[in-house]
């Protein structure tokens, strides 16, 4: 592919202190793509995600988001990057003491100077987008797990980000609710062209939504597969990759 990625990871060494979890990995995520990061337990999926959103600085290497380097420690650049991304955390991460509408309004209030009426209109639009119209005044404790995820997604989309990051979006959801969330992800990607980076190990979701995947490996601390998940399931030369995609024990 001759195009540059909206996310570029170059020779990234990731970990905590002396503990190297990923060693010298490089990949691009292209604009408008649904890109999935997967692998077995403890392979570094969540660690990589934290590096991509700037929560942890790398041991070495670069992360470039939409042309801006995230890894040079410049606070102003980081704040600019934060306005281009939205993050859906595993739990939904809603504030329990605030209504759904107040939760979604948080990033809008933080990063814009819109009037209260404009904020309210924008919040309603975002909630309608995820089929939560009419739930503005509910507290997180009053809605289901799937609805919390969708409310978290509405908040992640509040500032029309170029890139959405998802941390295990299906975690804790029943199969029907999980499939509904997959359909919503596909719909939002097609409607808005939003680039999406998803950390998950849910095979059904991966086959449903992913345009392309990378698979991380705990032993080699690197990427052992990259490409279309259906192709890798049937044609990968790596026995671990085939076992993973076909749910086969060793």
Could you give the number of structural domains in the chain?
Answer: 1
Q: How far apart are CA 120 and CA 147, in angstroms?
A: 19
pTM exceeds 0.85, yes or no: yes
Q: Is residue 230 part of a domain?
A: yes
Q: Is residue 208 part of a domain?
A: yes
Q: Is residue 21 part of a domain?
A: no
Torsion (CA) 75, 80, 85, 90 in degrees, nearest 10? 20
Q: How far apart are CA 49 and CA 199, in angstroms?
A: 7
> Residue 81 belongs to a domain with what CATH number?
3.40.50.300
2 CB burial (10 A radius; 0-12, 13-18, 19+): exposed
DSSP labels, the chain: --SPPSEEEEEEEEEETTEEEEEEEEEEE-TT-EEEEEESTTSSHHHHHHHHTTSS--SEEEEEETTEESTT--HHHHHHHHTTEEEE-TT----TTS-HHHHHHHHHHHH----HHHHHHHHHHHHHHTT-TT-TT--GGGS-HHHHHHHHHHHHTTT--SEEEEESTTTT--HHHHHHHHHHHHHHHHHH--EEEEE---HHHHHHH-SEEEEEETTTTEEEEEE-HHHHHHH-S-HHHHHHHHT---
Q: Is residue 69 part of a domain?
A: no
The pLDDT profile of the chain, 250 residues, written as one tens digit per residue, is: 446 799 999 999 998 888 899 999 999 999 999 999 998 888 889 899 999 998 888 999 999 999 888 877 678 888 888 888 998 887 667 888 889 999 999 888 888 888 888 989 889 999 998 888 888 999 999 988 888 889 999 999 888 899 999 998 888 888 888 898 999 999 999 999 999 999 998 899 999 999 999 999 999 999 999 999 999 999 999 988 999 899 888 7
Determine contact, residues 45/68, Cβ cutoff 8 Å. no
Q: Cα 132 vs. chain centroid, distance in angstroms? A: 21
Q: What is the pLDDT of residue 2?
A: 42
Six token digits for residue 10: 């170059």
Q: Is residue 88 part of a domain?
A: yes
Q: How far apart are CA 97 and CA 103, in angstroms?
A: 9
Strands 212-217 and 7-16 turn out to be unpaired
Q: Is residue 15 part of a domain?
A: no
Q: How far apart are CA 194 and CA 105, in angstroms?
A: 20
Q: What is the pLDDT of residue 229?
A: 94
Domain that holds residue 238: 32-54+74-246
Six token digits for residue 249: 């024990």
Q: Is residue 234 part of a domain?
A: yes
Determine contact, residues 62/71, Cβ cutoff 8 Å. yes
Q: Is residue 26 part of a domain?
A: no
């Amino acid at each position: 592919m001759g195009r540059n990625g909206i996310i570029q990871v170059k020779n990234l060494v990731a970990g905590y202190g002396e503990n190297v979890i990923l060693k010298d990995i490089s990949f691009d995520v292209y604009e408008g793509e649904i890109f999935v990061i997967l692998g077995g337990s403890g392979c570094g999926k969540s660690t990589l995600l934290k590096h991509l959103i700037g929560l942890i600085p790398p041991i070495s290497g670069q992360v470039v988001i939409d042309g801006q380097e995230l890894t040079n420690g410049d606070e102003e650049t980081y704040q600019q990057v934060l306005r281009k991304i939205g993050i859906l955390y595993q739990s939904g991460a809603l504030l329990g003491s605030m209504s759904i509408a107040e939760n979604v309004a948080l990033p809008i209030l933080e990063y814009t100077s819109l009037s209260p009426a404009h904020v309210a209109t924008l919040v309603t639009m975002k909630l309608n987008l995820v089929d939560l119209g009419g739930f503005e005044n509910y507290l997180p404790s009053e809605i289901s797990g799937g609805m919390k995820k969708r409310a978290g997604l509405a908040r992640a989309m509040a500032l029309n980000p170029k890139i959405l990051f998802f941390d295990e979006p299906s975690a804790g959801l029943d199969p029907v609710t999980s499939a509904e969330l997959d359909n919503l992800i596909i719909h939002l990607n097609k409607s808005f062209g939003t680039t999406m980076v998803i950390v998950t190990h849910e095979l059904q979701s991966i086959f449903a939504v992913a345009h392309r995947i990378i698979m991380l490996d705990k032993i080699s601390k690197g990427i052992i597969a990259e490409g279309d998940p259906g192709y890798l399931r049937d044609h990968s030369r790596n026995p671990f990759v085939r076992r993973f995609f076909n749910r086969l024990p060793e």
